Amino acid sequence: MLKPLANTLAPVERTLGELEKIGAANQSPSRDVASHAKQPSTIPLQLWLRPPGALSEKAFLETCSRCGECVRVCPAEAIKLDAIGRVGTSAPYIDANSSACVACDGLYCMSSCPSGALVPTPLTLIKMGTAVWHEHECTRSNENDTCQLCVDACPLGSAAIDLNGREVVVKPLACIGCGLCQQVCPTQPKAITVIPISARAQ
């Protein structure tokens, strides 16, 4: 027997609510300026966007050898590694503001990882995080503005993000969290940001 639609959608709605709260917190200016200056501007302390195919945060940190192979093979030069450990807790990370994952055809980082910290995963099953739209920051709040850069940049197209009138609609079950929407967003602060998958454990 089919479950009522409301019951089926309840877990998705709860997840969206949690992501929106985290996204709002990430926009807060309350973080100490000196500490904030050390981190990529929209990624809060210890909540890093990891490369595609990454294990859960704890397992990723324990398994990754910090060899830098994923950094070397990334065609977009999106994956970074701070050996000192000030950024990304010394493990590979992505700052979507400056250089997002392009979900390249080869998904080279996953197939090249020697430690197993990045697991080969089909594109549609990758889950780096989930994009959250911040309406109050978006230029589309102006009725004369037709910006849709975030929609055009998405490697999954309308399956993951689309327009509904003036609204940008992120589809959380399909969004892989690559960060391309965030990278191309012209506003500051960004009107769309990716909440790393590690944030769900916080």
Given a contact cutoff of 8 angstroms between Cβ atoms, the answer to whether 79 and 92 are in contact is yes
Q: What is the pLDDT of residue 17?
A: 52
Q: What is the pLDDT of residue 178?
A: 98
Measured CA distances, 23 to 95, 100, 108, 138 (Å):
16, 18, 29, 14
* SS3 call for 161: strand
pTM value? 0.77
Q: What is the pLDDT of residue 86?
A: 84
Q: Each residue's pLDDT tens digit in the chain (202 positions)?
A: 434 434 433 444 444 455 444 444 444 333 333 333 334 444 444 689 999 999 999 999 999 999 999 999 999 999 999 988 888 989 999 999 999 999 999 999 999 999 999 999 999 999 999 999 999 999 998 888 999 999 999 999 999 999 999 999 999 999 999 999 999 999 999 999 999 998 765 5
Q: Could you give the CA distance from residue 38 to residue 28 in angstroms, rounded to a whole number?
A: 16
Q: What is the pLDDT of residue 154?
A: 98
Q: What is the pLDDT of residue 98?
A: 93
Q: What is the pLDDT of residue 85?
A: 82
Given a contact cutoff of 8 angstroms between Cβ atoms, the answer to whether 165 and 188 are in contact is no
Domain range for 182 is 5-201
Report the number of distinct structural domains present in the chain.
1
Q: What is the pLDDT of residue 201?
A: 54
